[in-house]
Amino acid sequence: MLVAEGGKQFITVLEPSKQLQTHKGVLQHQDLIGQSWGTTIFSHTEHSFLLIQPSLRDILLHTKRQSQIIYPKEIGYILLRLSVGPGSRVVEGGTGSGALTTAFAWAVGSDGRVHSYDRREDMLELAHRNLERIGLTDRVDLNQLDVESGFQEKDIQALFLDLPHAHRYLYQAREAMADGGALGAILPTANQVSRFLSELENKRFSLPDVCEIMLRFYKPNPQRLRPMDRMVAHTGYLVFARAVRSPEND
């Protein structure tokens, strides 16, 4: 990753014959290869760039996208709510551009596995390219299947839904899950949250929990510390629940 003065970031894979064109001049990949992390590099117009490894958050924010992506502020919290860590098996309904898929693949490590479903081929191809970029394709199964026909896995401890009409697939989700497993979903509207909660009650889920996360950045000026002028007001409502052996009102 190269960070220009002013903060604009460029994430790229270096190849000897290529060059990086920016609003602050051109950089030859050849000149970057072998440089240490944390070094300052200059473009042909003498603008400085900082060469730095992208954090997982940087990579997630630079996911190439054809759809709304989930932000790092939500993703970090989802990992903790679904206990996704080294060795986990995770199922994802709705691959989309693959930002959350990438985070899951990174968190489960080489012993874990991510099973992701989307019915759109173009989305799966995009997600594949996003995963390939950071070398995580071999931890992920990308399935071109409609979630309506069910997931192929069983006894899953962590399952996440990021789909239109997510409330329609709670039966399929429950069938794939172990007793006690953790379910999560992101839903854009309050109406969808209501429908999702209604369906949860009848589908052997319990402990429903709804929240939203707001992240506010500050201008990092020590003499003039103040929040940025504008912020993201909404990405989605997060809903979590736990799989139980019998319906809530049994």
Closest CB 49 distance from a second copy, rounded Å: 11
Q: Kindly list the distances between the CA atom of residue 85 and the CA atoms of 57, 81, 111, 122, in Å, as whole numbers in the listed order.
A: 16, 11, 10, 28
Q: Does residue 230 interact with a second copy by CB under 8 A?
A: yes
Closest CB 103 distance from a second copy, rounded Å: 7
Closest CB 138 distance from a second copy, rounded Å: 14
Give, rounded to a whole angstrom, the gap between the first and last alpha carbons of the chain: 54
Residue 17 or 223: which CB sits closer to a second copy? 223
Q: Does residue 85 interact with a second copy by CB under 8 A?
A: yes
Only one residue has tokens 């192929």, namely 152
**232 near 186, Cβ under 8 Å?**
no
Out of 32, 60, 176, 186, name the contact with a second copy by CB under 8 A. Answer: 60
**97 near 69, Cβ under 8 Å?**
yes
Out of 6, 16, 34, 38, name the contact with a second copy by CB under 8 A. Answer: 38
- Binding span for a second copy by CB under 8 A among 14-22, 24-32, 121-129, 190-198: 190-198
Interface with a second copy (CB under 8 A), residue total 90
Site for a second copy in 7-36 (CB under 8 A): 7, 36
Q: Does residue 212 interact with a second copy by CB under 8 A?
A: yes
Q: Does residue 98 interact with a second copy by CB under 8 A?
A: no
Site for a second copy in 127-166 (CB under 8 A): 157
Q: What angle do CA 135, 181, 138 make, to 5 degrees?
A: 15
Phi, psi (deg, nearest 5) at residue 200: -55, -40
Residue 154 or 234: which CB sits closer to a second copy? 234
Measure the CA–CA gap between 115 and 101, rounded to whole angstroms.
Answer: 9
52: which DSSP letter?
Answer: -
**75 near 90, Cβ under 8 Å?**
no
Out of 16, 17, 80, 135, name the contact with a second copy by CB under 8 A. Answer: 80
